[in-house]
Structure 1
Amino acid sequence: MNLDDIYNWILGHNQNYPGKHQESQPRTIASYKPLEAKAQFHIVIKATAEYIKEKMLSGNGVNMKELGAFTMEVNSDYVKPLQHSGFNMTQDLAIQRADRKHVHQIRPCFVPDNSFKYFLARYPGKEEITKPLSQHSIYQKGFGMNFCNAGPIAASCYLGKDVVQSIHNSLIKAIHDLTRLGHNLNIDFGFIKISVINRDLKYKYEQSFISRLNQTEYELKMRQSDLATSQHWTTTYQEKWSKSTLNNLLTRPDPVKVQGNYEKSMALKIILQQKVEIGFKFNINFQFQ
C-alpha cells in the first residue's frame, strides 16, 4: 500500500479515524476554493515532506510524534594535533576549513518512535545514532532536533492548523494499524522512501538529497552564525519566509482576475435565473388560457 491507498483507507474508515480531515475544509484565503478530502491529504503530506527536507538541509532534524525522527548522524574522524596537522597561520581560515571538509561526514537516518517500534518486528539498529552527552531529554533523537510544527505547513497549504494536525494524527495512526494488521507499506516522501514489508522497516534516502546534505558545510553550522548580531535580529519574519521552499509550494492567484471571474459567473447566474423565471411565467399563462 502506497500513500494514496493509505488515504483511501482513512477516508473509508471514518469511524476509526474521526476528525476534520474527513470533510472538505475552507481555505484561509478566499481566492482558493475548498479541496476534496483526499486532495487535502496530498497537499498537506507534500508540504510536510518539503518542511522536513528544508529543516534537514539547514542542519536540523525533525521529530514527528509517534512516527519517528528524521535526523542525521555526524561521523567525525580524529583530528591531528595542531603541531602535526600542518596548520598555516598565514593562510585564510576558509581555505583551511575547505581542506578539512572530509573530517565531518553526514549520514541521514530515520529513527522510528517507540510507539511505532511496538508494531515492528525488525528495524535498522536499536540505537542507530549516538546521542550527545549534553542532551539529557529522552525525546532527543539527534543533533538540533525540532518537533514537526504544523504552523508553517498550514500556512503553505492555506489551511487551518487544526486540519494539518488532524491529517498528521490520522496518517500516523493508520500506519500503526496497517502495520499491526500485516499490510506492506511503501511511504514515499520524495527525498526518503520508507517501506514496511512483513513488519520489517527499511528506508532509503535519495542520492541527490544525500549529495546536497554533504555539500552543506556542517562545520559552519556548529559554530556561531555567519550573520552579524544586529543583522540577525533585524531580519524580519517575512524575509525569512520568502526564502523558504514552503512559500513557493503554491502560487498565490491574482486577486484582480479572481474577482473578475467571480463577477462574470455571478452575472451569468443572474441572466440564467431571469430566463428561467420568464419561461416559467409564460408556461403558467398558457395553461390558464
Structure 2
Amino acid sequence: MNLDDVYNWILNHKNNYPGKHQESQPRTLQSYKPLEAKAQFHIVIRATAEYIKEKMLNGNGVNLKEFGAFTMEIISDYVKPLQHSGFKMTEDLDIQRADRKHVHKIRPCFIPDNQFKYFLQRYPGKEEVSKPQSQHSIYQKGFGMNFCNAGPIAASCYLGKDVVQSIHYSLVKAIQDLTRLGHDLHIDFGFIKISVVNKDLKYKYEQSFINRLNQTDYELKMRKSDMATSQHWRATSEEKWSKSTLNNLLTRPNPTQVQENYEKSMALKIMSLDLNTAEQTNYSKNQKVKLPALNK
C-alpha cells in the first residue's frame, strides 16, 4: 500500500479515524476554493515533506509525533591536534574549513518512535545516532531536533492548523494500524522512501538529497542563522518566512482576476437560470408589429 491507498483507508473508515480531515474544509484565503478530502491529504503531506526537507538541509532534525525522527549523524574521522595540523593564523577560516571538509560526513537517518516500534518486528539499529551528553530529554533523537510544527505547513497550504494536525494524527494512526494488521507499506516522501514489509522497517534517502547535505561544511549547517546576531533578532518573521521554500509551494493568485472570473461565472449561472425557467409563448408570432415607415 502506498500513500494514496492509506488515504483511501482513512476515508473509508470514518469511525476509526474521526476528525476534520474527513470532510472538505474551507481555505484561509478566499481566492482558493475548498478541496476534496483526499486532495487535502495530498497537499498537506507534500507540504510536510518539504518542511522536513528544509529543516534537515538547515542542519536540524524533525520529530513527527508517534511516527519517528528525521535526523542525521555526523561522522568525523580522526583529527590531528592543533599543534600537528599545520594551523595557520594568517590563513582565511573558510579556506581551512575547505581543507578539512573531507573529515566530516553527514549520514541522514530515520529513527522510528517507540509507539511505532511496538508494532514492528525488525527495524534499523536501536541506537543509530550517538546521543550527545548535553541532551537529557528522551525526545531528543539527534542534533538540533524540532517537533513538526503544523503552523508553517498550514500557512503554505492555506488551511487551518487544526486540519493539518488532524491529518498528521490520522496518517500516523493509520500507518500503525496497517502495520499491526500485517499490510506492506511503501511511504514515499520524495526525499526519503520508507517501506514496511512483513513488519520489517527499511528506509532509503535519495542520493541527490544526501549530496545536498554534504555540499557545504557541517559547521555552517549547524549554525542557527547565516545573519549576524544583531540582525537575527531584529529580522521579522515575515522576512524569514519569505526565504522559506514552503512560501513558494503554492503561488498566490491575483485577487482582481479571481474576482472577475467569479463574477463572470455567477452571471453565466443567472443567464442559464433565466433561459431554463422561461415559459415558451407564441406572442411574437401572433402579434402584428407595425414598423415605422422609412423616409425615402
TM-score range, shorter chain: over 0.9
Describe the SS at the equivalent of 1:193. Answer: strand
RMSD: 1.4
The equivalent residue for 1:286 is none
The equivalent residue for 1:195 is 195
The equivalent residue for 1:154 is 154
The equivalent residue for 2:131 is 131
Unaligned runs of 5+ in 2: 283-296
Matched residue type, 2:99: D
- How far did 1:225 drift? 4.6
Say which is worse superposed, 186-195 or 231-240, in terms of deviation. 231-240
Say which is worse superposed, 216-225 or 265-274, in terms of deviation. 216-225
- How far did 1:103 drift? 2.1
- How far did 1:221 drift? 3.7
In 2: Cα distance, 1:273 partner to 1:223 partner: 62
Decide whether the 8 Å contact of 1:192 with 1:206 is kept in 2.
Answer: yes
In 2: Cα distance, 1:8 partner to 1:187 partner: 14
The equivalent residue for 2:232 is 232
The alpha-carbon distance between structure 1 residues 226 and 277, as it changes in their structure 2 partners (threshold 3 A), is closer
Aligned length: 282
In 2: Cα distance, 1:222 partner to 1:212 partner: 15
The 5-angstrom pairing of residues 209-248 of structure 1 reads: 209-222=209-222, 225-248=225-248
The equivalent residue for 1:53 is 53
The 5-angstrom pairing of residues 52-91 of structure 1 reads: 52-91=52-91
1:122-177 deviation line (CA, Å, top 9, x unaligned): 00001111100000001100000000000000000000000000000000000000
The alpha-carbon distance between structure 1 residues 164 and 224, as it changes in their structure 2 partners (threshold 3 A), is closer
1:46-72 deviation line (CA, Å, top 9, x unaligned): 000000000000000000010000000
Instruction: Verify: 1:39 aligned to 2:39, yes or no.
Output: yes
The equivalent residue for 1:163 is 163
TM-score, with length taken from structure 1: 0.94
In 2: Cα distance, 1:44 partner to 1:225 partner: 27
The equivalent residue for 2:268 is 268
Decide whether the 8 Å contact of 1:20 with 1:166 is kept in 2.
Answer: yes
In 2: Cα distance, 1:275 partner to 1:227 partner: 64
The equivalent residue for 2:118 is 118
Describe the SS at the equivalent of 2:126. Answer: coil
- How far did 1:250 drift? 0.6
Say which is worse superposed, 186-195 or 258-267, in terms of deviation. 258-267
- How far did 1:83 drift? 1.4
Describe the SS at the equivalent of 2:194. Answer: strand
Describe the SS at the equivalent of 1:264. Answer: helix
1:221-269 deviation line (CA, Å, top 9, x unaligned): 4457542222212222122111111111111111111110111111122
In 1: Cα distance, 2:52 partner to 2:153 partner: 10
Decide whether the 8 Å contact of 2:65 with 2:113 is kept in 1.
Answer: yes
TM-score, with length taken from structure 2: 0.92
Structure 1 vs Structure 2: percent identity of aligned residues?
82
The equivalent residue for 1:144 is 144
The equivalent residue for 2:12 is 12
The equivalent residue for 2:278 is 278
